[in-house]
Amino acid sequence: MKIKILTVVVCAALPALLAPAASAQQLLAQQESAFLCMAPPGHVCQFGVQTATGPVNFPLPSGERKALPGVSLAGAKYCVCDPGPVTTDCKEPRLGYWCLGRWLDVVPGLNQ
Protein backbone atom coordinates (compact mmCIF):
# COMPACT_ATOMS: atom_id res chain seq x y z
CA MET A 1 0.00 0.00 0.00
CA LYS A 2 2.80 2.42 0.91
CA ILE A 3 4.56 1.66 -2.39
CA LYS A 4 1.38 2.48 -4.36
CA ILE A 5 0.97 5.79 -2.54
CA LEU A 6 4.63 6.65 -3.05
CA THR A 7 4.38 5.77 -6.74
CA VAL A 8 1.33 8.03 -7.16
CA VAL A 9 3.08 10.91 -5.36
CA VAL A 10 6.25 10.57 -7.45
CA CYS A 11 4.27 10.34 -10.72
CA ALA A 12 2.25 13.41 -9.76
CA ALA A 13 5.34 15.43 -8.84
CA LEU A 14 7.53 14.39 -11.79
CA PRO A 15 6.11 16.88 -14.36
CA ALA A 16 6.64 19.76 -11.91
CA LEU A 17 10.24 18.68 -11.34
CA LEU A 18 11.02 18.37 -15.06
CA ALA A 19 9.37 21.66 -16.12
CA PRO A 20 12.32 23.91 -15.09
CA ALA A 21 14.74 21.86 -17.22
CA ALA A 22 12.49 22.16 -20.28
CA SER A 23 12.09 25.91 -19.68
CA ALA A 24 15.86 26.34 -19.46
CA GLN A 25 16.34 24.56 -22.80
CA GLN A 26 13.71 26.76 -24.47
CA LEU A 27 15.26 29.92 -22.99
CA LEU A 28 18.73 28.94 -24.24
CA ALA A 29 17.37 28.25 -27.72
CA GLN A 30 15.70 31.68 -27.85
CA GLN A 31 18.58 33.84 -26.56
CA GLU A 32 19.93 36.50 -28.85
CA SER A 33 23.36 36.14 -30.35
CA ALA A 34 25.48 39.04 -31.55
CA PHE A 35 28.41 38.97 -33.96
CA LEU A 36 31.39 41.34 -34.02
CA CYS A 37 33.89 41.92 -36.83
CA MET A 38 37.37 42.37 -35.33
CA ALA A 39 39.19 42.81 -38.64
CA PRO A 40 41.52 45.77 -39.15
CA PRO A 41 39.86 49.13 -39.99
CA GLY A 42 38.52 49.26 -43.54
CA HIS A 43 37.95 45.50 -43.78
CA VAL A 44 34.58 43.75 -44.08
CA CYS A 45 34.03 40.35 -42.46
CA GLN A 46 31.73 37.81 -44.06
CA PHE A 47 29.84 35.73 -41.49
CA GLY A 48 28.18 32.41 -42.20
CA VAL A 49 25.85 30.93 -39.57
CA GLN A 50 24.48 27.40 -39.89
CA THR A 51 21.16 27.05 -38.06
CA ALA A 52 18.48 24.40 -37.86
CA THR A 53 16.30 26.56 -40.14
CA GLY A 54 19.05 27.06 -42.74
CA PRO A 55 22.15 29.17 -43.37
CA VAL A 56 22.36 32.89 -42.62
CA ASN A 57 25.12 34.86 -44.39
CA PHE A 58 25.88 38.54 -43.87
CA PRO A 59 28.73 41.06 -44.27
CA LEU A 60 29.85 43.15 -41.31
CA PRO A 61 32.27 46.11 -41.47
CA SER A 62 35.22 46.18 -39.05
CA GLY A 63 34.27 47.14 -35.49
CA GLU A 64 30.53 46.72 -36.03
CA ARG A 65 28.15 44.36 -34.24
CA LYS A 66 25.04 42.65 -35.54
CA ALA A 67 22.41 40.91 -33.44
CA LEU A 68 20.64 37.87 -34.85
CA PRO A 69 17.43 37.47 -32.89
CA GLY A 70 15.68 34.17 -33.29
CA VAL A 71 18.80 32.14 -34.09
CA SER A 72 18.43 28.88 -32.21
CA LEU A 73 21.67 28.30 -30.32
CA ALA A 74 21.11 24.57 -30.13
CA GLY A 75 23.55 23.16 -32.68
CA ALA A 76 24.16 26.48 -34.49
CA LYS A 77 27.70 27.02 -35.82
CA TYR A 78 29.43 30.02 -37.36
CA CYS A 79 32.44 30.88 -39.48
CA VAL A 80 33.90 34.28 -40.29
CA CYS A 81 36.19 35.16 -43.18
CA ASP A 82 37.92 38.38 -44.23
CA PRO A 83 37.06 39.44 -46.85
CA GLY A 84 34.96 36.39 -47.74
CA PRO A 85 33.36 34.30 -49.04
CA VAL A 86 32.72 31.81 -46.24
CA THR A 87 33.71 28.38 -47.50
CA THR A 88 32.11 25.05 -46.57
CA ASP A 89 35.22 23.99 -44.62
CA CYS A 90 35.80 27.49 -43.13
CA LYS A 91 39.27 27.69 -44.69
CA GLU A 92 40.82 30.53 -46.73
CA PRO A 93 39.77 30.23 -50.39
CA ARG A 94 43.15 31.60 -51.55
CA LEU A 95 46.31 33.40 -50.46
CA GLY A 96 45.66 36.82 -48.92
CA TYR A 97 42.33 35.79 -47.39
CA TRP A 98 41.65 34.85 -43.76
CA CYS A 99 39.07 32.48 -42.22
CA LEU A 100 38.66 31.04 -38.71
CA GLY A 101 39.71 27.61 -39.98
CA ARG A 102 36.81 25.73 -38.39
CA TRP A 103 33.13 26.15 -37.61
CA LEU A 104 32.54 27.25 -34.02
CA ASP A 105 29.47 26.88 -31.80
CA VAL A 106 27.26 29.98 -31.58
CA VAL A 107 27.09 31.10 -27.95
CA PRO A 108 24.73 33.50 -26.15
CA GLY A 109 26.10 37.01 -26.20
CA LEU A 110 29.01 38.00 -28.43
CA ASN A 111 30.57 35.83 -31.15
CA GLN A 112 33.64 37.24 -32.89
How many Å apart are CA 65 and CA 67, to the nearest integer? 7
Average pLDDT over residues 20-38: 64
Q: Which long-range contacts (CB under 8 A, 24 or more apart) does 95-103 make?
A: 98/39, 103/50, 103/77, 103/78, 103/79
The band of 31, judged by pLDDT with boundaries at 50, 70 and 90, is low
pTM summary value: 0.70
> What pLDDT shows up at residue 46?
96
pLDDT tens sequence across 35-72: 999 999 999 999 999 988 889 999 999 999 999 877 77
Residue 110 has pLDDT above 90, yes or no: no
Give the per-residue pLDDT at 28: 45
